[in-house]
Amino acid sequence: MLILRSINGKHRSLNALLEEISRDTRKPISTLKLNARILKELGLIDYGEKNSPKPVELTEHGELVLRILGVIA
C-alpha cells in the first residue's frame, strides 16, 4: 500500500521513489525494492529497468486496487 499510494507521476525512476519513501518512513530500501518487484510481477505497477529508464506508473490493475481500498476515487 505504501508504494502504491506514493506513485504520483513526479518520480523519474523507481529508485527516486523508493529513496523518498525510505527517508519519510525509515523503511529499509532493500525491503521497498523487494516489494516494488512483487508489485510489478503482480501487474500493479510498471517501471523501466536499469538500461531503459521509465517513470514509475500505476497500471490499470493498480488503480483498481486503490479504488477498491478507498484510497482514490
7 contacts: CB under 8 Å, gap ≥ 6: 17, 45, 56, 57, 58, 62
Q: Which residues pair with 58 in a beta bridge?
A: 45
Question: Can you give the pLDDT at residue 59?
Answer: 95
Question: Can you give the pLDDT at residue 51?
Answer: 72
Question: Can you give the pLDDT at residue 49?
Answer: 77
The answer to whether position 53 is within a domain reads yes
Q: For the domain that residue 15 is a member of, what is the CATH number?
A: 1.10.10
The answer to whether position 73 is within a domain reads no
Q: What is the pLDDT of residues 13-31, one digit of tens each?
A: 899 999 999 999 999 999 9
Dist. CA 48–CA 58, nearest whole Å: 13
Dist. CA 46–CA 72, nearest whole Å: 18
Q: How confident is the prediction along the chain (73 residues), in pLDDT tens digits per residue?
A: 999 999 988 888 899 999 999 999 999 999 999 999 999 999 999 998 777 678 899 999 999 999 999 888 7
Percentages (nearest 5) of helix, strand, coil residues in the chain: 55, 10, 40
The answer to whether position 59 is within a domain reads yes
The answer to whether position 33 is within a domain reads yes
Question: Can you give the pLDDT at residue 21?
Answer: 97
